[in-house]
Amino acid sequence: MSLLELDDVEVRYGSVRATHGISLRVEEAETVALVGSNGAGKSSTLKAIMGMAPVARGGVRLDGVPLNGLRPSQVVRRGVGYSPEGRRVFPMLSVLDNLRTGAFTLPRARFTARLEQVYAYFPRLKERPGQLAGSLSGGEQQMLAIARALMSCPRLFLLDEPSLGLAPVIVQRIGELITEIQRSEGLAVILAEQNALWAMRLAQRTAVIDLGRIQLEGPSEQLRHNEDVRRAYLGT
Amino acid sequence: MSVSLLVPILFTGVSLSAIYILVALGFTLVFGIMRVVNFAHGEFAMMGGFALLFLLDRLAWPYWLALPLAALMVGVASLLPERFVFRRLYGQELPSMIAALGLSVVLAEGGIILFEVHERSLPSAFSGLIHIGGFTFPEDRLVVVAIALAALAAFWLFVRFTRIGLALRTVAQDREIAEAQGIDTRATYRVTFFLATTLAALGGALFAQIYALSPLMGQVPLMKAFIIVIIGGLGSVPGAALGGVLLGMSESFLNTFYGASVAQFASFGAIILLLVLRPWGLLGRPEG
Ligand SMILES: Nc1ncnc2c1ncn2[C@@H]1O[C@H](COP(=O)(O)OP(=O)(O)O)[C@@H](O)[C@H]1O
Ligand SMILES: [Mg+2]
């Protein structure tokens, strides 16, 4: 049994079908890149796992237990962390309050210890706990969005477009952080990205999604060196 | 203007402002967090007045016990419509607004059936006069101001420094993401509605003490709340405070010098002007 199993998941917004039956397995402590162009259905897939998108067909299971019908806050409680596309930190709250909002499912007694662990990954956040999140730079906001989701001690971490709109040096730094966090927490990660080559370097396995379907899947190394894949899906 | 005239006007302004803010705060809170324009808000204020009358008159409870309990009773009772009406309509602004309008009529007419339509007065808890520095203040008004200010301070401390308060602030900023970070937003809605109607009931009870109590009295506080949130910006808590002070003070001044009609004319005239020039209010933000 895999940590996460998606079986034939169809996300439907009214008459718009965002995914046409996604099936995917994620094992413990594994990073999977979900790559594809804009509108391919990456965000919808992550939202289906979180219970944020209407699932018309198919099922999502965590540890073999169905997540269908749960509210997003209950999915978090089961051990899934979510860093949304566009960061969406709470702009009018301080850095520290943003981190607190990520810890509502954590027993209170564990908050301080967890905060120190998360601060250790992100020393720049530790330096400015009182600053309003809205006044942080784009890269800092992305780090805060990741840190906020980590506060709940997830086992599965869904990361939606963490490289979007950031300068190359920052993207590289975020990549290093994702790897470091993944290793030291033993996290399973799904990294949804348009920046396919970057995401594939961070992930052991890659699934290429297009038109709401997973078109091919395999070890990232293999796909990266496959000329047909590069031409058809990676735009190189 | 002489000081002897100014001080009573200011005092009236302060006491009006305090009550108005109590009522408008809940109204703006329900919109800012739940996206519901609660037309029944004034009826919860009215219910606060009747609950206080019941506890004081029938049960002969002491005022200090009766007032907070009256407000809490209304807050608890309001969880019924929250559960059975609004919860099904969350995220649908128009249907929830119409449901609120319906609830407003049901509650007001229910009040008429129970208590008849005529106005009555609450037994006065305080009737003395207090002299401070050559000025005379009616005791009951001082009490009203003190209670309203204490409730506002308690509310601010709650929202600013508690865990539930933090949840309210996140939901007001981005409900979808608050839920996806593990915050039970339905529970947050329940707390919001409870707080809002409790504050409204407290405001209504104080209002009924100064003016009069009747099943139809909810219209006045609702109107004031509307004006205040249009001034301050719908959904903005500092906006409700600013709007409440502006409305209370200007009403007090205009009433004294030009009479009630001019006061009404001016406040609604200002609203129309504001809606044309800055529809998101002084402290609100443009939509979209
Ligand atoms: N809330 C929504 N309502 C209607 N259509 C949507 C909504 N969200 C996404 N879509 C549509 O679903 C498809 C997949 O979108 P999305 O999952 O956001 O793709 P990606 O994240 O890969 O860019 C797109 O065609 C998009 O327009
Ligand atoms: Mg997307």
Domains parsed from chain B with CATH numbers: 3-117+135-277 (1.10.3470)
**Which of B161, B181, B190, B237 would best serve as a mutation to test chain A binding (most A beta carbons within 10 A)?**
B181
- The protein residue whose alpha carbon is closest to atom 13 in ligand 1 is A18
Give B130's pLDDT tier (boundaries 50, 70, 90).
confident
Give A232's pLDDT tier (boundaries 50, 70, 90).
confident
Half-sphere exposure of B162 (CA within 13 A, CB side): 11
Looking at residue B66, what is its pLDDT?
A: 95
Radius of gyration of chain A (CA): 17
Looking at residue A236, what is its pLDDT?
A: 56
For residue B184, what is the nearest residue in chain A, using CA coordinates?
A: A73
Q: What distance in Å separates the CA atoms of residue B284 and residue B240, rounded to the nearest whole number? A: 10
Output B47 or B274, whichever has higher pLDDT.
B47
Q: Do the chains contact at B181 and A152, CB–CB below 8 Å?
A: yes
How does the average pLDDT of chain B come out, rounded? 89
Looking at residue A62, what is its pLDDT?
A: 97
Looking at residue A1, what is its pLDDT?
A: 84
Task: Tell me the pLDDT tens digit for each residue of A199-218.
Answer: 999 999 999 999 999 999 99
Looking at residue B256, what is its pLDDT?
A: 87
Looking at residue A79, what is its pLDDT?
A: 96
Using the predicted structure, report yes or no on whether residue A235 has a pLDDT greater than 80. no
Give A177's pLDDT tier (boundaries 50, 70, 90).
very high
Looking at residue B101, what is its pLDDT?
A: 93
Give B288's pLDDT tier (boundaries 50, 70, 90).
low
Output B93 or A203, whichever has higher pLDDT.
A203
Closest alpha carbon to B61 in B53, B49, B50: B53
Looking at residue A41, what is its pLDDT?
A: 94
Q: Do the chains contact at B173 and A102, CB–CB below 8 Å?
A: no
Which ligand places an atom closest to the C-alpha of A34?
1
Using the predicted structure, report yes or no on whether residue B145 has a pLDDT greater than 60. yes
The H-assigned helical ranges of chain B are 3-34, 41-53, 63-77, 79-84, 93-115, 139-161, 163-173, 175-180, 185-210, 219-232, 237-258, 260-277
Q: Is A101 on the interface with B (CB under 8 A)?
A: yes
Give B134's pLDDT tier (boundaries 50, 70, 90).
confident
- Residue A27 makes CB contacts below 8 A (sequence gap 6+) with A2, A3, A188
Q: Do the chains contact at A101 and B178, CB–CB below 8 Å?
A: yes
Mark which residues 175-204 of B lie under 8 Å from A by CB.
Answer: 176-186
Looking at residue B166, what is its pLDDT?
A: 96
Looking at residue B32, what is its pLDDT?
A: 86
Closest atom, ligand 1, to C-alpha of A42:
22
Give A131's pLDDT tier (boundaries 50, 70, 90).
very high
Global ipTM: 0.93
Mark which residues 125-184 of B lie under 8 Å from A by CB.
Answer: 163, 166-167, 169-170, 173-174, 176-184
Residues in chain B: 288
Residues A127-136, mean pLDDT to the nearest whole number: 96
What's the token pair of residue A29? 């402590």
CA distance to partner chain A, nearest, from residue B23 (Å): 25
Residues B46-75, mean pLDDT to the nearest whole number: 94
Which ligand places an atom closest to the C-alpha of A39?
1
Mark which residues 9-38 of A lie under 8 Å from B by CB.
Answer: none
Residues B11-37, mean pLDDT to the nearest whole number: 90
Pick from A73, A88, A93: which is nearest to B169 by CB? A93
Looking at residue B232, what is its pLDDT?
A: 84
How does the average pLDDT of chain A come out, rounded? 94
Least confident of B41-50, B73-82, B192-201, B209-218: B209-218
Pick from B166, B184, B186: which is nearest to A101 by CB? B166
Using the predicted structure, report yes or no on whether residue A99 has a pLDDT greater than 70. yes
Using the predicted structure, report yes or no on whether residue B286 has a pLDDT greater than 60. yes
The pick from A16, A82, A194, A215 for probing ligand 1's pocket by mutation, whose C-beta has the most ligand atoms within 8 angstroms, reads A16
The pick from A10, A12, A13, A22 for probing ligand 1's pocket by mutation, whose C-beta has the most ligand atoms within 8 angstroms, reads A13
For residue B164, what is the nearest residue in chain A, using CA coordinates?
A: A104
Which domains, ranges and CATH numbers included, belong to chain A? 4-88+138-234 (3.40.50.300)
Looking at residue B91, what is its pLDDT?
A: 80
Q: Do A149 and A83 form a contact (C-beta atoms < 8 A)?
A: yes
Tell me, what DSSP letter sits at residue A32? Answer: E
Q: Is A82 on the interface with B (CB under 8 A)?
A: yes
A13 lines ligand 1 (CB under 6 A): yes
Q: What are the φ and ψ backbone dihedral angles of A41, each rounded to 5 degrees?
A: 115, 15
